[in-house]
Amino acid sequence: MTETPQERYEISSDPARLDAARIHNWLSNGSYWAKGRTREHQDRAIAGSLNFGAYDLASGEQAGYARVVTDLATFAWLCDVYVDPAARGHGLGGRLVAAARDHLAPTGVYRFMLATADAHGVYEKAGFQPLDNPDRWMALQFR
Protein backbone atom coordinates (compact mmCIF):
# COMPACT_ATOMS: atom_id res chain seq x y z
CA MET A 1 0.00 0.00 0.00
CA THR A 2 1.41 3.38 -1.04
CA GLU A 3 1.37 6.33 1.35
CA THR A 4 -0.50 9.43 0.30
CA PRO A 5 1.31 12.80 0.42
CA GLN A 6 -0.78 13.67 3.49
CA GLU A 7 0.55 10.57 5.27
CA ARG A 8 4.16 10.99 4.20
CA TYR A 9 4.74 14.76 4.25
CA GLU A 10 4.02 17.60 6.63
CA ILE A 11 3.71 21.24 5.51
CA SER A 12 5.00 23.88 7.92
CA SER A 13 5.51 27.65 7.87
CA ASP A 14 8.02 27.50 10.74
CA PRO A 15 11.13 29.32 9.43
CA ALA A 16 13.36 27.48 11.93
CA ARG A 17 12.74 24.22 10.05
CA LEU A 18 13.93 25.47 6.66
CA ASP A 19 17.06 23.90 5.19
CA ALA A 20 18.43 27.07 3.55
CA ALA A 21 21.37 25.28 1.94
CA ARG A 22 19.07 22.72 0.33
CA ILE A 23 16.65 25.41 -0.84
CA HIS A 24 19.49 27.37 -2.40
CA ASN A 25 20.83 24.28 -4.17
CA TRP A 26 17.39 23.37 -5.52
CA LEU A 27 16.64 26.83 -6.84
CA SER A 28 20.06 27.92 -8.10
CA ASN A 29 20.81 24.60 -9.80
CA GLY A 30 17.45 22.95 -10.49
CA SER A 31 15.05 25.71 -11.51
CA TYR A 32 14.76 27.80 -14.65
CA TRP A 33 13.73 30.96 -12.77
CA ALA A 34 16.47 31.18 -10.13
CA LYS A 35 19.40 29.53 -11.90
CA GLY A 36 22.61 31.03 -10.56
CA ARG A 37 20.95 32.90 -7.67
CA THR A 38 23.56 33.48 -4.99
CA ARG A 39 23.20 32.05 -1.52
CA GLU A 40 23.24 35.59 -0.10
CA HIS A 41 20.28 36.59 -2.28
CA GLN A 42 18.41 33.41 -1.40
CA ASP A 43 18.96 33.92 2.32
CA ARG A 44 17.71 37.51 2.05
CA ALA A 45 14.66 36.31 0.11
CA ILE A 46 13.87 33.74 2.80
CA ALA A 47 14.32 36.31 5.57
CA GLY A 48 11.90 38.76 3.93
CA SER A 49 9.18 36.27 3.05
CA LEU A 50 6.54 33.92 4.37
CA ASN A 51 8.00 30.46 3.74
CA PHE A 52 6.50 26.99 3.54
CA GLY A 53 8.44 23.77 3.75
CA ALA A 54 7.33 20.22 3.06
CA TYR A 55 9.01 17.67 5.31
CA ASP A 56 9.24 13.90 5.06
CA LEU A 57 7.71 12.56 8.27
CA ALA A 58 10.00 9.53 8.37
CA SER A 59 13.32 11.30 7.89
CA GLY A 60 12.51 14.91 8.77
CA GLU A 61 14.27 16.04 5.58
CA GLN A 62 12.86 18.93 3.62
CA ALA A 63 11.28 17.71 0.38
CA GLY A 64 9.72 20.92 -0.97
CA TYR A 65 9.56 24.67 -0.63
CA ALA A 66 7.33 27.63 -1.48
CA ARG A 67 7.81 31.32 -0.74
CA VAL A 68 5.29 34.16 -0.52
CA VAL A 69 6.17 37.85 -0.62
CA THR A 70 3.28 39.71 1.01
CA ASP A 71 2.14 42.68 3.05
CA LEU A 72 -0.49 40.39 4.67
CA ALA A 73 -3.12 43.00 3.84
CA THR A 74 -3.70 43.46 0.12
CA PHE A 75 -1.10 41.67 -1.98
CA ALA A 76 0.84 38.42 -2.14
CA TRP A 77 3.27 36.97 -4.69
CA LEU A 78 3.82 33.21 -4.75
CA CYS A 79 7.27 32.20 -5.95
CA ASP A 80 10.06 29.66 -5.68
CA VAL A 81 7.72 26.66 -5.52
CA TYR A 82 9.98 23.64 -5.80
CA VAL A 83 9.68 19.93 -4.99
CA ASP A 84 12.74 17.70 -4.77
CA PRO A 85 12.80 15.42 -7.83
CA ALA A 86 12.68 12.32 -5.59
CA ALA A 87 9.40 13.53 -4.04
CA ARG A 88 7.62 14.56 -7.25
CA GLY A 89 4.52 12.93 -8.62
CA HIS A 90 2.62 12.76 -5.34
CA GLY A 91 0.85 16.13 -5.32
CA LEU A 92 3.30 17.77 -2.96
CA GLY A 93 3.63 20.94 -5.06
CA GLY A 94 -0.14 21.31 -4.98
CA ARG A 95 -0.16 20.85 -1.22
CA LEU A 96 2.45 23.59 -0.80
CA VAL A 97 0.42 25.98 -2.95
CA ALA A 98 -2.80 25.13 -1.09
CA ALA A 99 -1.07 25.65 2.26
CA ALA A 100 0.08 29.12 1.19
CA ARG A 101 -3.41 29.96 -0.10
CA ASP A 102 -5.10 28.72 3.05
CA HIS A 103 -2.63 30.55 5.29
CA LEU A 104 -3.34 33.85 3.53
CA ALA A 105 -7.12 33.49 3.16
CA PRO A 106 -7.98 34.82 6.66
CA THR A 107 -5.68 37.86 6.26
CA GLY A 108 -7.88 39.63 3.75
CA VAL A 109 -5.26 39.58 0.98
CA TYR A 110 -7.30 39.96 -2.18
CA ARG A 111 -4.65 39.82 -4.87
CA PHE A 112 -2.48 36.69 -4.88
CA MET A 113 -0.27 36.49 -7.95
CA LEU A 114 2.31 34.21 -9.51
CA ALA A 115 4.09 33.57 -12.78
CA THR A 116 4.85 30.18 -14.28
CA ALA A 117 6.15 28.82 -17.55
CA ASP A 118 5.16 25.20 -17.06
CA ALA A 119 3.00 24.41 -14.00
CA HIS A 120 -0.34 26.01 -14.82
CA GLY A 121 -2.27 22.88 -13.87
CA VAL A 122 -0.81 22.82 -10.36
CA TYR A 123 -1.87 26.41 -9.73
CA GLU A 124 -5.28 26.09 -11.39
CA LYS A 125 -6.16 23.31 -8.92
CA ALA A 126 -5.58 25.85 -6.11
CA GLY A 127 -7.84 28.42 -7.79
CA PHE A 128 -5.35 30.55 -9.73
CA GLN A 129 -6.50 31.80 -13.15
CA PRO A 130 -4.91 33.78 -15.97
CA LEU A 131 -5.20 37.55 -15.63
CA ASP A 132 -8.26 39.16 -17.18
CA ASN A 133 -6.23 42.22 -18.18
CA PRO A 134 -2.55 41.29 -18.39
CA ASP A 135 -1.87 44.45 -20.40
CA ARG A 136 -2.37 46.50 -17.21
CA TRP A 137 0.63 44.90 -15.49
CA MET A 138 4.13 46.26 -15.83
CA ALA A 139 7.51 45.29 -14.47
CA LEU A 140 10.87 46.91 -13.82
CA GLN A 141 13.90 44.65 -13.98
CA PHE A 142 17.18 45.85 -12.53
CA ARG A 143 19.28 43.35 -14.41
- Per-residue pLDDT tens over the stretch 67-100: 999 999 999 999 999 999 999 998 999 999 999 9
- Domain range for 18 is 5-136
Percentage of the chain lying above the pLDDT 90 cut: 90
* pLDDT at position 4: 63
Mean of all residue pLDDT scores within the chain: 94
**In the chain, how many domains are there?**
1
Is the residue at 143 inside a domain?
Answer: no
Q: What is the CATH classification number for the domain harbouring 81?
A: 3.40.630.30
pLDDT band at 143; cut points 50, 70, 90 = confident
Gap between the Cα atoms of 52 and 68, Å rounded = 8
Strand bridging mode 75-83 / 111-113:
parallel
45 in Cβ contact with 59 (< 8 Å): no
Q: Is residue 37 part of a domain?
A: yes
Model confidence, pTM: 0.92
The answer as to whether 30 is a domain residue is yes
